[in-house]
Amino acid sequence: MEKLSTNGNLKNIKFKKHNQANSNLSMNKVTNQLKYLSKLSATFLFSVLKIYGIGVLSTVIVMIVGIYILSASFGSGLGHSGAYLFIVAAITTKPVSASLFFLLMIAAPFFIGIFSTKYAMSNVISRLVQDHSETLLVPAIDKVIDKFRTGQPAVVRNSADYALVKIQLLNEFKNSSENKIIKKILSYALKKMSFDELDLKSGNINFYDIIKTKLIEKLHELAEPSAMIFYIYVGLQWLSLALLYFLNI
């Protein structure tokens, strides 16, 4: 009896140790994921600030130098004129170079703001797809879509049906309990999906399986950060400055 009791106690101790080990592994996994997501958020912020900073610095320098060049070309006659008269005189004197210059300056806040966010998002998606596609992204997609499907199964036959379901899915993603950066990424990718990308011709294919597949494909498609368009825009700013200085057109 004592031997049986001892064996039973040993089994209980081993069982408790096994459970404790599993619990520790689970806690370590959650901690590592939280650390990774924190780094991902920092990467997003750094990418936004980097592109935004370069864009703002370039715009400020080009604008100051450009206005100085135009003022010098007018002489002292328009020194105290208003902004409207200054712009009209500049475009009249140098229609091509001045028009390009002012258009680029006006577009700067919108272009820099939109592109910095887009670039940062692509950068973060690229890292997440490479590092934790199967451990973070896919489980989050499954969780949200399964919950949505249980709550209200949908039949999608046309673009109007899809538009409604898309809005509802976006709300589901935004209101889910997932990490903020994960929700932001999945919502961003879902917004980029169009009805034309869905193959709904086969009646045997589940709509939610298509959504999941296409959402993952869209994430891989968006995971290609490139700042080429941004640097082309910055290059155009400096080109407009050169045109103002060297040409009277």
Q: Torsion angle of alpha carbons 40, 45, 47, 53, nearest 10°?
A: -170
With beta carbons less than 8 A apart as the criterion, state whether 162 and 198 touch.
yes
With beta carbons less than 8 A apart as the criterion, state whether 182 and 140 touch.
yes
User: Residue 5: its pLDDT value, please?
Assistant: 53
Helices (H), 136-227: 138-151, 159-175, 180-192, 207-222
Buried b (16+ CB within 10 A) or exposed e, 61-75: ebbeebeebbeebee
User: Residue 228: its pLDDT value, please?
Assistant: 92
Reduce the DSSP state of residue 9 to 3 states and report it: helix
User: Residue 106: its pLDDT value, please?
Assistant: 94
User: Residue 154: its pLDDT value, please?
Assistant: 59
Query: Can you read off the two tokens belonging to residue 102?
Result: 């002012």
With beta carbons less than 8 A apart as the criterion, state whether 185 and 43 touch.
no
User: Exposed (0-12), middle (13-18) or buried (19+): which is 126, by Cβ within 10 Å?
Assistant: middle
Block means of pLDDT (10 residues each) for the chain, 249 residues, are 51 50 58 83 92 96 92 67 79 89 94 93 91 85 85 66 81 83 89 76 70 88 89 95 87
Residues 6+ apart with CB under 8 A from 17: none
Measured N-to-C along each axis, helices 180-192 and 138-151 cross at an angle, to the nearest 10 degrees, of 70
Residues 6+ apart with CB under 8 A from 41: 180, 181
Letter for the amino acid at 200?
Answer: L
Query: Can you read off the two tokens belonging to residue 50?
Result: 């980097």
